[in-house]
Amino acid sequence: MPEGLERASWGEGLRFGFGTLSVVRVRVERWDRAAAARAMTAAPVVGLALGSAAAGAGALVAWRAGGPLGAVTAVAVLAALTRGLHLDGLADVADGLGSGKPAEDALRIMKQSDIGPFGVLTLVLVLLAQVAAVAGQFGHSTLRGALAVLASATAARCALAWGCLRSVPAARPGGLGAMVAGTVTPLGAIVGTAAAALGLAALGLLDGWSALRLPASVVLGLGCARLLLGRCVRRFDGITGDVLGAMAETAATGALFALALLS
């Protein structure tokens, strides 16, 4: 827990998490680093909730209209439930990294409201990959597609905890990135990820082999996000809210790729 602040409750942390990571209307009672620490540690819970909604919508459409439309629906619902926050972060980080400019200039590019060519290309490729991967899982069965959506959403929010480890600094003062940077202990990130993986494994028993595939996909997705984190810390001297969003989308896409390869 951040020093000098009164410990926040898990309820306060969850309200902080849902209030900042989703469109769900909640009353955020605390806006400080203690609440942020709880929120980022419990971020997988937000992932399970949002993933369940997207998985249900995608499965319903896939059942009635086929896997490709179900996949588009699931990806669109997840984007809508976050106001496209993580996708926006992904595009901004792509522009910052692709600019080749020093850290200060790259961070300024990332703060601009427009999207450059690197951001557009990255968004197109990532969304195509996500839709194609989810459609492939729906092609196996409606249940397998729904579980894939749930796993990817959970992996994305697990990545947030790893991006907010105490060893990772903020790239600049101010903003959500500075609020949450360095708030999560390694034990908290491990426990949160392990709990999410166990929950997915239990759900995967409904589909047999998925009991192993789902946790494995989360781990592999987090590995992809960790590579991006290392690159951003070296490039920007820390993280921003955009970097966390990019990590989330990278983990989600990596998890879906893993599920496709393990099918």
**SS3 sequence, the chain?**
CCCCCCCCCHHHHHHHHHHHHCCCCCCCCCCCHHHHHHHHHCHHHHHHHHHHHHHHHHHHHHHHHCHHHHHHHHHHHHHHHCCCHHHHHHHHHHHHHHHCCCHHHHHHHHHCCCCCHHHHHHHHHHHHHHHHHHHHHHHHCHHHHHHHHHHHHHHHHHHHHHHCECCCCECCCCHHHHHHCCCECHHHHHHHHHHHHHHHHHHHHHHCCHHHHHHHHHHHHHHHHHHHHHHHHHHHCCECHHHHHHHHHHHHHHHHHHHHHHC
Q: Is 39 inside any structural domain?
A: no
- Rounded Cα distance between 214 and 203, Å, is 9
Q: Is 86 inside any structural domain?
A: yes
| Backbone phi and psi for residue 26, each to the nearest 5 degrees, phi listed first | -135, 160
pLDDT band at 168 (very low <50, low <70, confident <90, very high): very high
Q: Is 78 inside any structural domain?
A: yes
- Whole-angstrom CA distances from 164 to 35, 101, 131, 170, 198 are 13, 25, 28, 9, 22
pLDDT band at 114 (very low <50, low <70, confident <90, very high): confident
Give me the pLDDT at residue 178, please: 87
Q: Is 13 inside any structural domain?
A: no
Q: Are 154 and 48 in contact (CB under 8 A)?
A: yes
- Rounded Cα distance between 220 and 260, Å, is 12
pLDDT band at 172 (very low <50, low <70, confident <90, very high): confident
* pLDDT at 193 > cutoff 60: yes
Give 219-261 pLDDT, tens digit per residue: 999 999 999 999 999 999 999 999 999 999 999 999 999 999 9
| Backbone phi and psi for residue 170, each to the nearest 5 degrees, phi listed first | -85, 145
* pLDDT at 56 > cutoff 60: yes
Q: Is 63 inside any structural domain?
A: yes
Q: Is 190 inside any structural domain?
A: yes
- Rounded Cα distance between 221 and 165, Å, is 17
Closest to 192 (Cα-Cα) out of 243, 239, 157: 157
| Range of lowest pLDDT (183-197, 201-215, 231-245) | 201-215
Q: Are 87 and 249 in contact (CB under 8 A)?
A: yes
Number of domains in the chain: 1
Q: Is 41 inside any structural domain?
A: no
Provide, rounded to the nearest whole percent, the portion of the chain with pLDDT above 70.
98
Domain that includes residue 188, residue range: 48-262
Give me the pLDDT at residue 6, please: 63
Q: Residue written as tokens 């990019």? A: 246
Q: Is 32 inside any structural domain?
A: no
Give me the pLDDT at residue 4, please: 43
